[in-house]
Amino acid sequence: MILLEQRPIACMSWSSPPWHMGPRDRFIGWSPQTRRQNLHLLAYNSRYLILVA
């Protein structure tokens, strides 16, 4: 939660990353075995909300 003068203006949330995402895995250069070993190192930005006045 991001506050400005005691009022919320934005909110962000993270969750576990998808198990398999072809474009991400190809970009990073992960094999299936490497993905299994390293997936716990990633965070997935699941929400980003900006509140308007």
Q: What is the pTM of this model?
A: 0.54
Task: Quote the percentage of the chain above a pLDDT of 90.
Answer: 40
**Mean per-residue pLDDT over the chain, rounded:** 89
Query: In angstroms, rounded to a whole number, what is the distance separating the alpha carbons of residues 2 and 37?
Result: 33
Quick one: pLDDT at residue 38?
92
Dump pLDDT digits (tens) for 1-53: 888 899 989 999 999 988 888 898 899 898 999 999 999 998 888 888 888 86
